[in-house]
Amino acid sequence: MYELSAFGLDLIMHTRHLTFSDRRRWWIFGYISEYWGILPILLLLVGCSSPLSERDQALAHINGQAITVGDFERSYVQALIQSGQNDTPEARYQHLDLLIEEHLWYEEALRRNLNSDSLISQFTELSLKRAVGGRYYEIEFLEQLPQLTETEIRQAFARYKQPMIVRHLFFRNEADARTAHARLEAGNPFLDEAQVAFRTENFDSTAGWLGEIRYFQVDDAFAEAAFALSVGQYSDPVRSRQGWHIIKVEDRIRTPVIAESEFQNRKDGIVGLLRIRKRRLEGDRFVRTFMENRNVQINAEGLRSLRAALGRITNNSVSLDDTHDTAALPLTPETPLATFTMNGSTHTFTGDGYFFWLPELPPSEVTSNPAASLGRALRNEALALAGLELGLSKDQIVQEDIASSTRTYLANSMRRLQPDSTLLIALRSTSSIRVDTVLFQQIMVD
């Protein structure tokens, strides 16, 4: 069956190969481990981002073209997330130098007419649709989010200070979760339900046991449901990014002493984390509702053809036996994969549309879950069309995003030519490069 969860913002979670008991933890903690690992970066975004007026200031000029503070901050944080590197003064200097280098390679690519490459038009169209879809999401959702209240912030801080001991029941679908919840409501013990949910061969007192969890270290929906419970209570079925859960609180670690001074010291960080959580939770709901309103219909034969085609493309082994679906019809650019509606009109999403979005799809998802990757590509297409219908292709932020993406693309095209190292030295020596050292030092202090 087609996975509607693929319509969410970032919904696909692939479990690694662990022991049975470890895998139960990984469903919850595996998702957040990468997120928690970049907590210092998130706090950098929240606590150290510059005021709006400062973000428009030019940090550097390369042959008259500006790199603004905002350009630097967005690019730098993204680089930290992708590399896992720590935020240090040296890292900031190096990143600014990389941005300068990118401008130099971009200008050299223009001199060599690399922008006349036939691939650039396809990349530009992809950049446009990606930027328009993202801007539509910002306007229709992010800009409508209410500000956090003082009560919400203090409650989040209190939860942050008090870990909980929990166990849970896990289900792949809502129906099974609702059925189990009904049995709990009828008086069946939670631990007995855990034996059923986790299919234990013999009675296992640790079934469903997760142990200690912390408020900002688990899946967003899971955390909000768990920390709203009292000791001994269990939740209604909760949808996380991994599936469905019924959560029971076994204990709280301690009653925290919450000092006002500590709250004030940590407030900015808590606000940032809570804002990110609310955006993710509400964002998932927004996108899911948006796609539900599109009346999506999956073409079963088209999906079968897509699975077979992706299986052949991603199969690296050499074998005389074709284990893929040889009965599936060949996938062509015109193969219908799905239909969806937009403002009363029906749109057909084809094989050509899927492969248009392929560079934006997680490779692991493409290989292991083609149906989910189809959902992600379809979501991207629908959001882009909605943005285009709003006329967002002329939006200033969209245009800046496209220009930045194109600059990076052409700079990388130049790098792929593997030019002699002396060329970059020559470009630096013949270019006008000016860095506002005073402004950069202010960023370093922040």
**Residue owning tokens 């510059």:** 50
Are the CB atoms for 217 and 163 separated by under 8 Å? no
Residue 235 domain-assigned (yes or no): yes
Beta-bridge partner residues of 342: 345
Residue 353 lies in a domain: no
- Is residue 31 within 8 Å of 223, Cβ to Cβ? no
Residue 231 lies in a domain: yes
Bin 76: left if φ > 0, else alpha if -120 < ψ < 50, else beta. alpha
Per-residue pLDDT at 113? 92
Q: What pLDDT is attached to residue 34?
A: 38
Structural domain contains residue 26: yes
Q: Which residues contact 112 (CB under 8 A, 6 or more apart)?
A: 414
Residue at 44 is within a domain: no
Q: Look up tokens 């939770």; give the residue.
A: 281
pLDDT on residue 145: 87
Local mean pLDDT, 10-residue blocks, the chain (446 residues): 43 28 35 39 47 76 91 83 79 92 94 86 92 94 90 94 95 96 98 96 94 93 96 96 95 82 91 90 91 96 93 58 62 96 95 94 91 95 96 92 91 92 92 91 70
pLDDT score for 37:
40
Residue 27 lies in a domain: yes
Q: What angle do CA 288, 289, 290 make, to 5 degrees?
A: 90
Report yes or no on 179 lying in a domain: yes
Question: What are the residues facing 58 on neighbouring strands?
Answer: 68
CB atoms within 10 A of CB 210: 24
What total number of domains does the chain contain? 1
Cβ neighbors of 122 (< 8 A, separation 6 or more) are: 356
pTM exceeds 0.75? no
Rounded CA-CA distance 353/424 in Å is: 38
pLDDT, residue 46, reads 44
Beta strands in 310-445 (DSSP E): 336-342, 345-350, 433-435
Q: Which two tokens stand for residue 271?
A: 């606000």
Q: Is residue 211 part of a domain?
A: yes
How far apart (Å, rounded) are the C-alpha atoms in residues 345 and 329?
28
Give me the pLDDT at residue 86, please. 80
- What's the domain range around 22? 18-32+149-281
Output the domain CATH number for residue 264. Answer: 3.10.50.40
